Amino acid sequence: MMPVATVLPDDTPMFDPRILQELDWSENTTTFSPAISPLDPGDGLVLRPLCTADLNRGFFKVLGQLTETGVVSPEQFIKTFEHMKRSGDYYVTVVEDTNLGQIVATATLVIEHKFTHSCAKRGRIEDVVVSGECRGKQLGKLLTSTLTLLSKRLNCYKITLECLPKNVDFYKKFGYLFSSPFLAGILTTTSACPQPSPILCCCHLHGAKIFILLVHPLQTPCRSQEATSDQDI
């Protein structure tokens, strides 16, 4: 019996890094002080696609500061990475501290293909997290703005994300809006967390936390295509 070949982590990127390097940063809608960008995220930092070698650079240590990651073997990680890479619809982006050789921030853009809006594409930003020791360096802002611009570059008609109510104001800086006027009214007129609506589905429960759905309308659909319910979310 032939031995099974072992796939080792390497620096092959999940997607072409040039797509990040070629983003038009003049279209960024939020301010950075001091100024940073995808090409210059800060001293000793580089913003780039995830690679399997990041397994050994603390990728899961950072991701675990956001949510439960479970026990993931190198084989599981590489298998999932290769699936995402082959699909062409996953843009897992990281910031590496090259002085330490460690991942210090990450965020993911997922592209969904729709039959609605003339078979358009919708982007979703997920898993935005910055390592505790690097918070305050604007890396969360940088990743969110970068992936929002990337969605536009990939011709998505809109991009959505889910966040805790306390983080809504942060994402408004990038042009994100409540997914319905009804939910916006609740958040504006009461300090309590809104309850999930079975009709609008603008927020949902995950464990004991309530998450709010925000929308960034990258393109303006014609009136006949405008969403009238959560069926278009």
Domains, the chain, with CATH or none: 1-154 (3.40.630.30), 160-233 (no CATH)
Are the beta carbons of 204 and 142 closer than 8 angstroms? no
HSE-CB of 161 using CA atoms within 13 angstroms: 25
Give the pLDDT of residue 163.
Answer: 82
Query: Strand locations in 71-155, DSSP E?
Result: 90-97, 102-113, 121-130
C-alpha span between 216 and 159 (Å, rounded) = 5
Can you give the pLDDT at residue 34? 96
Alpha-carbon separation of residue 163 from 1, 100, 204 (angstroms): 51, 30, 10
pLDDT in the model for residue 230: 27
Pull the structure tokens for residue 21: 């390097």
Q: pLDDT (tens digit, 0 to 9) for every residue of the chain, 233 residues total?
A: 555 457 788 999 999 999 999 999 999 989 999 999 999 999 999 999 999 999 999 999 999 999 999 999 999 999 999 999 999 999 999 999 999 999 999 999 999 999 998 999 999 999 999 999 999 999 999 999 999 999 999 999 888 888 888 888 888 888 888 765 545 444 333 333 344 333 233 444 444 455 667 677 766 443 333 322 222 22
pLDDT at 209: 53
Q: What b/e string do you get for 96-133 counting C-beta neighbours within 10 Å, with b at 16 or more? A: bbeeeebbbbbbbbbbeeeeebeebbbbbbeebbbbee
Q: What are phi and psi of 35, to 5 degrees?
A: -65, 130
Is the pTM value of this prediction over 0.85? no
Quick one: pLDDT at residue 175? 85
